[in-house]
Amino acid sequence: MNHDYDVAIIGLGPVGSFAALLLEKRGLRVLAVDKDKEIYSLPRAVSISDQGLRMAQEVDIEDIYLKNSSQLGGAGFVDKNLNFIGKEINLKGFTTPNGWAPQRLFHQPYTDKEIRKRIEGTSITTLLQHELLNVKNRENDVLFSIKNLEDSSEVEYTCKYLIGADGGSSLLRKLLKITQEDLDYNRDWVIIDAELTVPNRLEDKAIQVCDPERIGTFIPAHLPFRRWEFIIYEGEDKNDFQDDKKIQKLISKWLNPEEYKIIRKAIYQFHSVLAHDFRQGNCFLIGDAAHQNPPFMGEGMMSGYRDAFNLTWKIAYVLKNGFSDSLLDSYQEERRPHAKFVVENSAGIGELMEAYAQADDPKDVPQELVAKGYGSFVLPNLDEGLFYEGKAKESMAAGQLF
C-alpha cells in the first residue's frame, strides 16, 4: 500500500526535530507538523549531556549546540548561605568516553532556530500552524487529519507510522486514550530566566539550594543568561510570583536588580509521570509526550533524544530493510524502564532538597534519600530488549552506557 508519508511526526520541538532528521537521513519520507509558526523565542530546555552530543553527531547538529553552549563546571547541594552540603561534583576539564564534557548548558532559542534551518534544507515536509485533529490506528498504517490554524481547512493523510513528540499535554496521547502512571512528585515552581547586564561574577556550578525558607535551583546557563527556579508552597498565590519585586527578592542572594533583566518568568507544575504505553498500534510517543520529570537532573530533553534515537533506526529497518514490525515492540521494552528510572531519580533529587532544608543537621537526613544525590547513582544498563544472541549477560558489555 502506498502512503502519503513513511512517518509523520506531531511536534517540531527539539525532540521532534531530532527524530525527523534521523528518519530523513535514513531515506524515509517524513512529514513534521507543529501548531506554531515560529520557533518559541524564550528558553525552556537548557542542558545537553555528553550522550546527547554524541547522538547529535549522527545528524551533524552537534556544532549547533557547541557554539551556543558553555560547559557546566560542577553541581551539588547547598545550604541557605550557599555553602555546599556533602560532596561537590567538579566537572571542570573532564571528558567522558563519549568524547564530550559531561554537561553543557545551551540557549534554546538559538539552537532551535539553527536546527529548524537545517530541517528546511532537507527533504522533510513541514506543516507549521497546523494541528492534529483525529487519528485512526489501522492494521497496516495510520489515517490522521490535520487542521490549518490559519484558514481552518482540514486535510487527511496516511503514514505507516505516526510519532507524537507534542509535549506534556500531548494531543496524540489523549486521542489514543493512553493513560499515565503518576510517580507522586507534583509541585508548583516558578522559573526565572535572566540576562546579565554586567560582567558575570557568578560561579559555573548548578546548585540545589536547600533553604528552609524556600528551596530553589540556580543554573549557570550559557552567558549572558542565568536561570533560577523556586518552589511555590501550597497556599501561596502563584500570581505573586509574576511580580518583578518578588522575583528580585528571590534572586537577591546572587544579584542586585540593576545587574540583570528578566526575560522570562513562568510557573510550572513539575510532574513525575510516564505513559503506560509508549506504543499503540502504529503510533508512538517520544519525549515529554511519553514521560515528564522534574528538571533537577537536566535529563528531560536527553530522555527524549534517547527515545528518538532508539525508535528511528528500528522504524528504518522495518521500512527499508524488511525487518518484522515486531522489532518496534522493543522500543517500549527498552525505553520505558530507563525513562522511569530518570523520572524517579529526578523526583528523588527534589525530595532530597526538601529533606536537607527541613533538617537541623544534614547528617540527620536518611541515607536512602542522600543516595539520590548527584554522583550517587548512574543511569542503568539495558538488560531487556534487543541483544546479539539473546538476553544480556553480566559478562557482556552490551547494554552498558560507555
pLDDT digits (tens, 9 = 90+) for 370-382: 877 765 556 666 6
- If you average pLDDT over every residue of the chain, what do you get? 91
pLDDT confidence tier of residue 271, bands split at 50, 70 and 90: confident
User: pLDDT (tens digit, 9 = 90+) per residue, 175-224?
Assistant: 999 999 998 888 899 999 999 999 999 999 999 999 999 999 999 999 99
φ, ψ dihedrals at 309, nearest 5°: -65, -40
pLDDT at position 201 is 92
- Is the pLDDT confidence value at 388 over 90? no
Which of 166, 16, 103, 108 lies closest to 297 in space, CA to CA?
Answer: 103
At 378 the pLDDT is 63
- State the average pLDDT over residues 248-272: 94
- In total, the chain counts a number of residues equal to 402
> Where residue 60 falls among pLDDT bands split at 50, 70, 90?
very high
pLDDT band at 402 (very low <50, low <70, confident <90, very high): very low
Predicted local distance difference test score (pLDDT) of residue 377: 55
Q: Is the pTM of this model over 0.85?
A: yes
- What is the secondary structure of 58-79 as a DSSP string? GGT-HHHHHHTEEE--EEEEE-
pLDDT of residue 185: 84
pLDDT digit string, tens, across residues 114-145: 999 999 999 999 999 999 999 999 999 999 99
Give percent of the chain above pLDDT 70.
92
Question: Where residue 398 falls among pLDDT bands split at 50, 70, 90?
Answer: low
Is residue 272's pLDDT more than 70? yes
Higher per-residue confidence, 385 vs 196: 196
- Residue 271 vs residue 82, higher pLDDT: 82
Query: What is the bridge-based pairing of β-strands 30-34 and 125-128?
Result: parallel
Name the CA radius of gyration of the chain, rounded.
Answer: 22
pLDDT in tens, 10-22: 999 999 999 999 9
Question: Is the per-residue pLDDT at 297 higher than 60?
Answer: yes
Cell of 353: 532538597
Extract the C-alpha cell encoding 304: 527524549
pLDDT tens readout for residues 34-52 = 999 999 888 889 999 999 9
Buried b or exposed e, range 17-38, using 16+ CB within 10 angstroms: bbbbbbbbebebbbbbbbbeee
Domain boundaries defined on the chain? 5-71+101-182+274-352
CA dist., res. 246 & res. 262, Å (int): 12
Question: What class does CATH assign to 5-71+101-182+274-352?
Answer: alpha beta
310-368 pLDDT, tens digit each: 999 999 999 999 999 999 999 999 999 999 999 988 888 888 999 999 998 988 888 88
Query: Residue 196, SS3?
Result: strand
* Calpha distance 208→349 (Å, rounded): 9
Confidence of residue 275 (pLDDT cuts 50, 70, 90): very high
393 CB neighbour count, 10 Å cutoff: 11
What digits encode the pLDDT tens for the residues 146-185?
999 999 999 999 999 999 999 999 999 999 999 999 988 8
User: 3-state DSSP helix/strand/coil percent for the chain, to nearest 5?
Assistant: 35, 30, 40
Residue 313: what pLDDT? 98
